[in-house]
């Protein structure tokens, strides 16, 4: 499984766009990139997943360059409720593959 | 559709005891995974079950075990509890791609 590196923490203000970059230099050909969000004392919640280029859903966008060695989670116009830990995971959606969570990025949004 | 449910939500045990945690996956999901989360080690994978078979196991001692029933419900057992087993135990279920998992609220285990 490819190891991921992401910033330990980030600070932002309400209404700003937040971009969290994750580095995964050893990503394999069949690996997907997945982001999860976790609030204190709750289980992680799936945000978005992609393989290449750009993926967008109702809560976030995921940008993946052509070499796929990094990815950027973009949260548009964050609010206080977006304060959470964000995890970047890399792995293949195969049977029995374990999700390996790193330390994640703690995003703090202030008013 | 109901989400993943875990029981109990909170549990206090003493060292040496054993504990069983239960997880009911989302209806139709056949894969169930278990994770341990502690402030020091973060989220760590315990094991994954699919159709009553353990497909993958993390790096935990044999005191941690699990099983899955024919209705996909899963249980996790920890024997001879140690203080270090105090953690939030999370269960997650998935239907297809293993990357897209739906987590339950967790069981907060405190070992005294």
What's the pLDDT tens digit per position in B58-112? Answer: 999 999 999 999 999 999 999 999 999 999 999 999 886 666 889 999 999 999 9
Q: What is the mean pLDDT of residues A66-78?
A: 96
Q: What is the mean pLDDT of residues A30-59?
A: 93
Contact B99 A104 (CB under 8 A): no
Q: Are B6 and B23 in contact (CB under 8 A)?
A: yes
* pLDDT score of A94 more than 80: no
Q: Which of A41, A51, A98 to mutate to test the interface with B (most CBs of B within 10 A)?
A: A98
Helix (H) or strand (E) holding B25: none
Of A45, A96, A103, the CB nearest to B56: A96
Residues of B with Cβ-Cβ distance to A99 under 8 angstroms: 33, 35, 45, 92, 98-99, 101
Measured between alpha carbons, how far is A52 from A64 in angstroms, rounded to an integer?
A: 5
Measured between alpha carbons, how far is B52 from B10 in angstroms, rounded to an integer?
A: 26
Q: What is the mean pLDDT of residues B38-48?
A: 90
Task: Answer positive or negative: Cα dihedral of A20, A22, A28, A32.
Answer: negative
Chain B closest CA to A108's CA: distance in Å?
18
């Amino acid at each position: 499984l490819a190891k991921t590196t992401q910033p330990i923490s980030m600070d932002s203000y309400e209404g700003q766009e937040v971009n969290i970059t994750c580095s995964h230099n050893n990503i394999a050909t069949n690996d997907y990139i997945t982001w999860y969000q976790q609030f204190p004392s709750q289980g992680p919640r799936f945000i978005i997943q992609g393989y290449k280029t750009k993926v967008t859903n109702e809560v976030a966008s995921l940008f993946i360059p052509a070499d796929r060695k990094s990815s950027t989670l973009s949260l548009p116009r964050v609010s206080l409720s977006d304060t959470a830990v964000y995890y970047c995971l890399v792995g293949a959606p195969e049977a029995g593959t374990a999700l390996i969570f790193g330390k994640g990025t703690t995003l703090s949004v202030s008013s | 559709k109901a989400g993943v449910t875990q029981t109990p939500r909170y549990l206090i045990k003493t060292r040496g005891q054993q504990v069983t945690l239960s997880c009911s996956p989302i209806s139709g999901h056949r894969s169930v995974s278990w994770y341990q989360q502690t402030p020091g080690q973060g989220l760590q994978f315990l094991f994954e079950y699919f159709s009553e078979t353990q497909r993958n196991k993390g790096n935990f001692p044999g005191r941690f075990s699990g099983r899955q029933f024919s209705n996909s419900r899963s249980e996790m057992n920890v024997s001879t509890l140690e203080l270090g087993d105090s953690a939030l135990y999370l269960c997650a279920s998935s239907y297809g791609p293993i990357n897209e998992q739906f987590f339950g609220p967790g069981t907060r285990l405190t070992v005294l």
